[in-house]
Every structure is written in C-alpha cells, then in structure tokens.
Amino acid sequence: MKIVKNFVVALGIKQELAKRRTKLYQIAYSWCHDPALADDLVQDTMVKAIKNSSKLREIATLDTWLYRILINCWHDYLRVSGRHVELFDISDDRIGDHSDMYQKVQIVDRVRSSVAKLPMNLREVVTLADFAGFSYAEIASIVDIPVGTVMSRLYRARQNLKDQLLDISSDENIRFKLRSVK
C-alpha cells in the first residue's frame, strides 16, 4: 500500500514540476546565461525533487523547496567549476511597435549590465524577489539566510541598481523621438 501511495505522490509531484519548469528555467538562465547549463540545472533540480519527493511535507511549500534545490544545484556547479558567471537576464515576450520595442530593449540592456555588476549574493536575492516573486521569508528559506539579511541585501541591491541606472541615464542622455507616419 505504501508503494502505491508513493507512486501517487510522485505522479502528483511530476505534474506540479511540469507546471513550474519554465519558471525554473528562466531563473536558472538568468543566473548562468547559458541555455544548456540552465537546462541541466533544471533537469538536476527535477531529478532531485522526484527522488526526494517523500521529504516534501506540504505541497504548499513546493515552490520554496524547488528553488532551494535549484540554488543548491547552482552553488554545486559554481563550486565544481570554480567560476563566477552572470546571474541575470530579462526577456520580454510581448511584441509592440518598433519604437516601443527599441525603448524596451534599451532598458533591458541597461538593467542587465547594472545587475551584472552586483555581487553574486545581491544578484541572487534581487532575482528571486523581483523576477521570481518570492516573499522575504521564502527567499530566506531558499538562500538559507535570515530574513533581515534578505531585507538588507535586497535594499543594497536595489539602491546600487538605482545609483547605476541614474548614472547611466545622466551620462547617455538618450532621447527618443516619436514621429507620425502617414
């Protein structure tokens, strides 16, 4: 009977993982900027989650549990490879007209370069908070740091980004002209 119960739980976990795969991939890709590596990280996360599905106490904490596994896989990769790589990427799937698209691309490039300058611990927290949408408590659980540390890192990261982006905008003085076309 226990085997049947474990099978049903594993099947449920697999379905939930399938729903979350894209989001996991986006976060992994934002950390490494390598599609193959991001796919490997997500695959390792999925395998470990399925293998350890009996350790998940509540399905409500699945997201936090999965991202904790993903960040552990990421840290394992960094430890083994001995490299520090990019941690951030923004993609906009909406398609607008050319001037809107150009402005969005410019903003994305500015933010991407600013985030790339952040230390790794600040990048992880700001990515999980602002792009994955986790609460402070969830981030603390994922990264395994106190909530106060999450708050201070997030504040420092956002302040650093604000300073960098304000410097960029004052230096470049890029102006966009809108023209009417008949």
| Helices and strands: H and E segment counts in the chain | 7, 0
The CATH number of the domain covering residues in 1-85: 1.10.1740.10
pLDDT at 92: 47
**Yes or no: is domain 94-182 CATH 1.20.1250.20?**
no
Cα(113)–Cα(98) distance, integer angstroms: 22
User: How many Cα neighbours within 13 Å face the side chain of 66?
Assistant: 28
Question: Is the entire prediction scored with pTM above 0.95?
Answer: no
Q: Where are the domains of the chain?
A: 1-85, 94-182
- As averages over each run of 10 residues, the pLDDT of the chain (182 residues) reads 53 75 85 87 89 78 86 89 54 54 76 81 87 88 92 92 76 48 42
pLDDT of residue 43: 92
Distance of CA 72 to the CA centre of its chain: 13
The CA–CA distances, whole Å, from 32 to 8, 101, 139, 156 equal 34, 25, 19, 22
